[in-house]
Amino acid sequence: MAPSILSKQSPIIIVGAGCFGLSSALYLAQAGYVGITVYDKQPYDENAYSTTDGADAASADFNKVMRMSYGEEIEYQRLAWDAIQIWNVWNKQIQSSPAQDLPRGLEPSDRVWNNCGFLRMSTDGQLSQFEQTTLRNITREGLRSTQFVVGDPEDEKRVPFYFKDGEWERKSDPFLRKLQGKSLAGVFDTTAGFVDASKACTWAMHLCRQLGVSFVLGEESGQVSSFIRSPGGHTTLGIRTADGKEHRSELLILAAGPWTPYLFPSIAPLMETTAGSVVYFQLPPQSEAPYLWERFSPENFPVYAYGGWTKGLGIGGFPRTEDGVVKIGYRGAKYTNYEDVADPMTGARHRISVPKTRYWPEPSEPAVTKQAVEAIKSVVREALPELAELGIAGCRNCWYTDSLDTSFVIDRVPGDEGMMVCSGGSGHGFKFLPVLGREVVKIIEKPGEKNAIARLWQWRTRSSGPRNGLEQGEAGPRNWKKQEMATKSDWTFDDNKAKL
Ligand SMILES: Cc1cc2nc3c(=O)[nH]c(=O)nc-3n(C[C@H](O)[C@H](O)[C@H](O)COP(=O)(O)OP(=O)(O)OC[C@H]3O[C@@H](n4cnc5c(N)ncnc54)[C@H](O)[C@@H]3O)c2cc1C
């Protein structure tokens, strides 16, 4: 059945105020839709998406990589380039706003995006195929001058015109490999950097509110417990929230991040909930260690992928935050957590991967796997010995949704004209906060005219062959229950102590 046409007054419900839900709400409101309500179980008005105050979504974080390097996936490269232009505008808008006009959690001195650059460094002296394809596609868009291949004589001739006061030396070789006589190869992308995810969500929510979007937040009134279905059960007509109320919609957009399969288990063949691991190092107070604060500042230290983007142990990291936190992530294995789940639509039982976050399904001590900690420690020992002296101060499992081909899933649910899924961020969705909703509106308004992006994100199946690990299911090696968790003694770099 063809999806019904919405009017600008149609009630639209968005479940989830992470970056997928916020961006959808923002662009729908900009397109003139006046009946948009976003429901989220988390009290973002109170915690301003701050993880230290209990925010627990993939989109709540200190920093996420902003890059346009996407190998052969030129649609994402173009989308990222568009996003960068809006990230720049958002920075200017925040900085020119009077403090009293900004929402809680933002000040005029804040920047939601930092263009500190991104070094994708190889440890074997070679540029990977991914890098070569990326360079080709960036050249194709006329942007080659924004990229610097380390060791390339032509690119290094341009260095003095672009970098001043030793910035190139610091950012192209943050691990001091030349000094140690080690190979140094890689690409430094001057268009890239990191975004402050929590502050960016706070800003996007503020923009939505200015355009009339309503937010219902919190465990009772904001938490969706089930869906209202048409008598035949084929069309979604709205939601029920934990406070027992019903809310009707003409279109429901399910943007519940890692909880999407939990709320809609039939999507499991297309999308799996998985966890990436991050650890934090806390620098000593600036007055005690000014050298470390200087060394790891975004002015001196880039976002990096150690060993390359598609090679190595899957380790990447960031410059320090304003609070002196240095975050390092591990993507070598994305863990799953299989549980029995009752479908809130049909009541049928499904065995699917669901999040197991710091606060959900119940509060727990933060813990990451020994595999992740050991991989990060090996890179820190080799490349960042200053951090080894500090030891790991904290950790987090960040849960998200992987689609079977790492492209997002943004489409109407086949056979249900009342519901659309907007998820499947696959570990790279955040950077698109400023533009994702633009595509969502096109997908809603022009279902018959799918552009390249709508085709990438459409409902799909792949019955055979590798499916980004989804084919492993519960029996696979990434199952959370099979992992050994790191203990606090694993957080130290004192090997003798760790063996005790
Ligand atoms: C470790 C890690 C590293 C990453 N690194 C990067 C990176 O460097 N660059 C990048 O671009 N992206 C990165 N990503 C990916 C990015 O964070 C995600 O793609 C993106 O944040 C997903 O946003 P979302 O809106 O889909 O989900 P979320 O941000 O998780 O939001 C989902 C929302 O739905 C709400 N919700 C869930 N259930 C209900 C319910 N029943 N009722 C009401 N509300 C509900 C939740 O409370 C939550 O607020 C990373 C992700 C992780 C985990």
Helix axes 19-30, 197-210, angle to 10 degrees: 30
Q: Are 318 and 303 in contact (CB under 8 A)?
A: yes
Closest ligand 1 atom number to CA of residue 262:
38
Ligand 1 mutation target, pool 274, 430, 457, most atoms within 8 A of CB: 430
Pull the structure tokens for residue 289.
Answer: 């260690």
CATH class of 12-64+197-270+404-472: alpha beta
Q: What's phi and psi for 136, nearest 5 deg?
A: -65, -45
Which of ligand 1's atoms lies nearest the C-alpha of 39?
Answer: 43
14, 22, 26, 41: which to mutate for ligand 1, most atoms within 8 A of CB?
A: 41
Torsion sign, CA atoms 385, 386, 389, 394: negative
- Amino acid 498: pLDDT: 44
Could you give the CA distance from residue 362 to residue 249 in angstroms, rounded to a whole number? Answer: 30
Q: How much distance in Å is there from the Cα of 162 to the middle of ligand 1?
A: 35
Residue from 430, 429, 420, 426 nearest 405 by CA: 426
Residue given tokens 């701050």 in the structure block? 50
Alpha carbon of 49 to those of 6, 18, 198, 436: distances in Å?
A: 31, 9, 5, 19
CA of 124 to the centre of ligand 1 (A): 33
Q: How many Å lie between the centroid of ligand 1 and the Cα of residue 111?
A: 21
User: How many whole angstroms from 385 Cα to the centroid of ligand 1?
Assistant: 32
Task: Identify the pLDDT of residue 462.
Answer: 79
**C-alpha 77 – ligand 1 centre gap (Å):** 20
CA of 295 to the centre of ligand 1 (A): 30
Q: How far apart are the C-alpha atoms of 326 and 318, rounded to whole Å?
A: 6
List the structure tokens of 277. 């691991």
The number of the ligand 1 atom at minimal distance from the alpha carbon of 431 is: 11
Q: What is the pLDDT of residue 233?
A: 80
Neighbours of 309 (CB within 10 A): 24
Rounded to the nearest angstrom, the distance between the alpha carbon of 354 and the centre of ligand 1 is 13
How big is the CA angle at 47 (ends 43 and 53), to the nearest 5 degrees?
Answer: 115
| Distance from the alpha carbon of residue 499 to the mean position of ligand 1, in angstroms | 36
> What is the atom index within ligand 1 of the atom nearest the CA of 201?
29
The overall average pLDDT reported for the chain is: 94
> Reduced to 3 states, what is the DSSP secondary structure of residue 48?
coil
Alpha helices, H only, 60-163: 74-95, 129-140, 153-162
CA of 423 from ligand 1 middle (Å) equals 9
Residue ranges per domain, the chain? Answer: 12-64+197-270+404-472
What is the reported pLDDT for 499? 42
Tell how far the Cα of 428 is from the centroid of ligand 1, in angstroms: 10
pLDDT single digits (tens) 183-239: 999 999 999 999 999 999 999 999 999 999 999 999 999 999 999 999 888 899 999
Nearest CA to ligand 1 atom 33: 16
| Ligand 1, pocket-test mutation among 15, 26, 45, 59, most atoms within 8 A of CB | 59
Q: How far is the CA of 270 from the centre of ligand 1 (A)?
A: 17
In tens digits, the chain (500 residues) has pLDDT values of: 456 679 999 999 999 999 999 999 999 999 999 999 999 999 999 999 999 999 999 999 999 999 999 999 999 999 999 999 999 999 999 999 999 999 999 999 999 999 999 999 998 888 999 999 999 999 999 999 999 999 999 999 999 999 999 999 999 999 999 999 999 999 999 999 999 999 999 999 999 999 999 999 999 999 999 999 998 888 999 999 999 999 999 999 999 999 999 999 999 999 999 999 999 999 999 999 999 999 999 999 999 999 866 666 789 999 999 999 999 999 999 999 999 999 988 889 999 999 999 999 999 999 999 999 999 999 999 999 999 999 999 999 999 999 999 999 999 999 999 999 999 999 999 999 999 999 999 999 998 899 999 999 999 987 777 888 888 999 999 999 999 999 999 999 986 454 43
Residues framing ligand 1 (Cβ under 6 A): 15-21, 39-42, 57-59, 64-65, 222-224, 255-259, 263, 276, 278, 329, 398, 400, 423, 425, 427-431
Say what the pLDDT of residue 500 is: 39
The per-residue DSSP string of 363-395 comes to ------BHHHHHHHHHHHHHH-HHHHHH---EE
- Pick the atom of ligand 1 nearest to 225's CA: 41
| 188, two tokens | 């430094």
CA of 59 to the centre of ligand 1 (A): 4
Q: What is the pLDDT, as a whole number, of residue 465?
A: 78
Q: Which atom of ligand 1 is nearest to the CA of 316?
A: 8
Ligand 1 atom 21: residue of nearest CA: 59
Of 64, 219, 223, 241, the one to substitute when testing ligand 1's pocket (max ligand atoms within 8 A of C-beta) is 64
For atom 35 of ligand 1, the residue with the nearest CA is: 16
